[in-house]
Amino acid sequence: MTEISHDELERLRAWDTPTICNALEAIDPKYAASGFTTHQMVCSNPEFGSIVGYAKTATIRARTPSPLSRSDQETITQNYYRHMAENPQPSVVIIEDLDYPAGFGAWWGEVHTTVHKGFGALGVVTNGSIRDLDVCPSDFQMLAGNVGPSHGYVHAVDVGGDVSIFSMKVRTGDIIHADQHGAVVIPYTAIQDLPKAIKTLTEQESRVIQAAKSDDFSLEKFFEARKSVDTMQR
Which residues on neighbouring strands pair with residue 185, listed in sequence order? 176
40-68 per-position pLDDT tens digit: 999 999 999 999 999 999 999 999 999 99
How far the first Cα of the chain sits from its last, in Å, is: 35
CA atoms within 13 A on the CB side of 95: 33
Cβ atoms 156, 140 nearer than 8 A? no
155-210 per-position pLDDT tens digit: 999 999 999 999 999 999 999 999 999 999 999 999 999 999 999 999 999 989 99
Check whether domain 34-186 has CATH 3.50.30.40, yes or no: yes
DSSP letter for 62, please: -
pTM of the model: 0.93
Angle between helices 194-213 and 219-226 (to 10 degrees): 160
